[in-house]
């Protein structure tokens, strides 16, 4: 089983002075693709004005230019410790048990616009690049989509896709026979189901944390659904190859 998360635009600074090693990341078949994007991002940072336009940065975000300029040599830290924001605050990697962190290293993936899917404990630098960023001469969808799709299809087993649709576009996995896209919904007293927005991220983070702490490598979606029911979670089949995580309204 693999759980596939979106990244976050916000990231912690710092880490260990061990630069990015592309050949240490999961899915080594993506190494050449990764190198192209890393080099393009660093080169773009040589022109701060162009970087601001390409990444849609505000005046309070100019430090992101310096982060990108140093992306090949800056400190690295495990993926689950690098990202911040609503989803990752709910995941709260700093308080995971050692057993849960080990499980994350083997079963958690995060889809980075810079590096493609990376493992939960892969070491990455701080950077700024989103799925809709525009690197000169390098359309991210065209660059990533087919190779990322192939990498995801190679995983086998159960693949829980918690990505936002913007990141799905950088590597769809519709032909993965056991890929299930997770939607977070709430159900009103009238029985009507609606999708959540902001709390969608929080619920995905809490759900992922529960999976990591549980530490079971589910072989089928039926096994996953059985565990969820016993754990007090409302997880149910939705449309074809989709699951609905039903949470209380906010």
Residue 194 has pLDDT above 90, yes or no: no
Q: Are residues 87 and 143 in contact, defined by beta-carbon separation less than 8 angstroms? A: no
Q: Where exactly are the structural domains of the chain?
A: 2-246
Distances in Å between the Cα of 165 and the Cα atoms of 6, 13, 84, 169 are 9, 27, 19, 6
Tokens for 132? 């809709």
pLDDT at 218: 97
Per-residue pLDDT, averaged over 153-160, amounts to 93
| Mean pLDDT value of segment 192-197 | 71
Strands 116-119 and 108-112: antiparallel
Cα–chain center distance at 145: 15
Mean residue pLDDT across the chain: 94
pLDDT digits (tens, 9 = 90+) for 69-100: 999 999 999 999 999 999 999 999 999 999 99
Query: Would you say residue 249 has pLDDT above 70?
Result: no
Tell me the C-alpha distance between 161 and 179, whole Å: 7
């Amino acid at each position: 089983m693999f759980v596939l998360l979106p990244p976050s635009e916000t990231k912690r600074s710092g880490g260990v002075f061990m630069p990015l090693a592309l050949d240490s990341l999961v899915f080594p078949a993506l190494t050449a693709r990764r190198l192209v994007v890393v080099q393009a991002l660093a080169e773009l940072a040589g022109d701060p004005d162009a970087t601001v336009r390409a990444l849609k940065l505000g005046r309070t975000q100019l430090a992101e230019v310096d982060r990108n300029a140093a992306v090949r040599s800056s400190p690295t830290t495990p993926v689950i410790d690098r990202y911040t924001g609503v989803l990752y605050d709910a995941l709260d990697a700093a308080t995971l048990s050692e057993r849960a962190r080990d499980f994350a290293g083997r079963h958690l993936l995060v889809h980075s616009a810079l590096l493609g899917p990376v493992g939960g404990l892969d070491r990455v630098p701080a950077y700024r690049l989103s799925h809709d960023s525009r690197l000169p001469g390098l359309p991210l969808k065209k660059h990533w989509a087919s190779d990322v799709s192939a990498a995801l299809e190679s995983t086998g087993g159960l693949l829980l896709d918690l990505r936002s649709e913007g990141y799905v576009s950088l590597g769809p996995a519709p032909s993965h026979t056991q890929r299930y896209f997770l939607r977070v919904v709430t159900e009103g007293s009238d029985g009507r189901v609606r999708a959540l927005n902001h709390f969608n991220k929080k619920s995905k983070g809490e759900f992922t944390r529960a999976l990591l702490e549980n530490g079971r490598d589910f072989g089928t979606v039926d096994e996953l659904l059985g565990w969820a029911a016993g754990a007090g979670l409302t997880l149910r089949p939705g449309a074809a190859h989709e699951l609905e995580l039903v949470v209380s309204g906010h």
